[in-house]
Amino acid sequence: MPQLRPALIAVALTLAIATPAQATAGPALTIENGRTQPVFSYADAIREHVYVESTVDSDLDGKLDKVRVDIIRPKESGPGLKVPVIIDESPYYDNSGRGNEGERKVYDAAGNVAKFPLFYDNYFVPRGYAVLNVDMLGTTRSEGCPDIGGKADVLGGKAVIDWLNGRAKAYKADGAPAVADWTTGNAAMIGKSYDGTLANAVAATGVEGLKTIVPISAISSWYKYQRSNGVIYNYDYASWLANYVDTDPEAKCKPVRDKMDAEDGDDTGNYNPFWAERDYIKGLLGDASKVKASVFVIHTVNDLNVKPDNFSAWWKALADRDVPRKIWVGQTQHVDPFDFEGRRGLWVDTLHRWFDRWLHGVDNGIMREPRADVEVGPAKWITQRDWPAPFAMKATLRPAPDGSLGLKPAAKDSTASFTDVAMSETAMVADVGTPNPGRVAFTTGALPLDLRLSGTPTADLRVKLDKPTSNLTALLVDFGEDTRVDWRRGQGITTLTEEDCHGESTAADDACYKKVVTNVATRPLEIVARGWIDVQNRSSLSQAAPLPVGTYGTVKWLTLPQDYIFKKGHRIGLVIAGTDSTYSGETGTGAGVTVDLAQSSVVVPFALTTPLADVPRDKARFHGPDRIELPESESAFQFF
DSSP strand E in 283-406: where?
Answer: 294-300, 325-330, 372-377, 380-384, 393-399, 405-406
User: Does residue 71 register a pLDDT over 70?
Assistant: yes
User: Does residue 1 register a pLDDT over 50?
Assistant: no
Residue 100: phi and psi, rounded to 5, are -60, -25
Q: Which of 387-391, 618-622, 623-627 has the lowest mean pLDDT?
A: 623-627
Q: Which pLDDT does position 27 carry in this prediction? A: 85
Q: Which pLDDT does position 11 carry in this prediction? A: 38
Q: Which of 2-16, 224-238, 568-582 has the lowest mean pLDDT?
A: 2-16
- Residues 74-84 have pLDDT tens digits of 999 999 999 99
Residue 350: phi and psi, rounded to 5, are -65, -45
Please report, rounded to a whole number, the percentage of residues in the chain having pLDDT higher than 90.
Answer: 90
User: Does residue 12 register a pLDDT over 70?
Assistant: no
- Residues 422-433 have pLDDT tens digits of 999 999 999 999
Q: Which of 547, 549, 328, 572 is nearest to 474 (CA)?
A: 572
User: Does residue 345 register a pLDDT over 50?
Assistant: yes
Q: What is the mean pLDDT of residues 584-590?
A: 96
Task: Sort strands 458-465 and 601-608 into parallel, antiparallel or unpaired.
Answer: antiparallel
Q: Which residues pair with 604 in a beta bridge?
A: 395
Mean pLDDT over all residues of the chain? 92
Count the neighbouring beta carbons within 10 Å of the beta carbon of residue 42: 22
Q: What is the mean pLDDT of residues 600-611?
A: 86
- Residues 475-522 have pLDDT tens digits of 999 999 999 999 999 999 999 999 999 999 999 999 999 999 999 999
Residue 269: phi and psi, rounded to 5, are 80, 5
User: Does residue 3 register a pLDDT over 50?
Assistant: no
Helix (H, G, I), strand (E, B) or coil at 547: coil
Report, as residue numbers or ranges, the catalytic residues.
Answer: 193, 303, 334
Task: Report the distance separating Cα 375 and Cα 361, nearest Å.
Answer: 30
DSSP H or E stretch at residue 528: strand 520-534
Residue 395, amino acid: A
Q: What is the mean pLDDT of residues 256-260?
A: 98
Task: Report the distance separating Cα 587 and Cα 231, nearest Å.
Answer: 11
- Residues 375-434 have pLDDT tens digits of 999 999 999 999 999 989 999 999 999 999 999 999 999 999 999 999 999 999 999 999
- DSSP annotation of 410 reads P
- DSSP conformation letters of 321-353: TT--EEEEEESSSS--GGGSTT-HHHHHHHHHH
Confidence of residue 29 (pLDDT cuts 50, 70, 90): very high
Answer yes or no: are the C-beta atoms of 82 and 148 closer than 8 Å: no
Peptide bond into 6 cis (omega under 30): no
Answer yes or no: are the C-beta atoms of 39 and 33 closer than 8 Å: no
Q: What is the mean pLDDT of residues 264-274?
A: 97
Answer yes or no: are the C-beta atoms of 534 and 584 closer than 8 Å: no
The residue length of the chain stands at: 640
Residue 483, amino acid: T
Helix (H, G, I), strand (E, B) or coil at 135: strand
The two counts, helices (H) then strands (E), for the chain are 11, 35
User: Does residue 609 register a pLDDT over 90?
Assistant: no
Q: Which pLDDT does position 25 carry in this prediction? A: 59
User: Does residue 17 register a pLDDT over 60?
Assistant: no
Residue 140: phi and psi, rounded to 5, are 50, -115
Answer yes or no: are the C-beta atoms of 258 and 236 closer than 8 Å: no
Task: Report the distance separating Cα 103 and Cα 188, nearest Å.
Answer: 21
Please report, rounded to a whole number, the percentage of residues in the chain having pLDDT higher than 70.
Answer: 91
Residue 624: phi and psi, rounded to 5, are 90, 180
Task: Report the distance separating Cα 627 and Cα 395, nearest Å.
Answer: 13
User: In this structure, is the dihedral angle defined by the CA atoms of residues 509, 511, 512 and 514, taken in order, positive or negative?
Assistant: positive
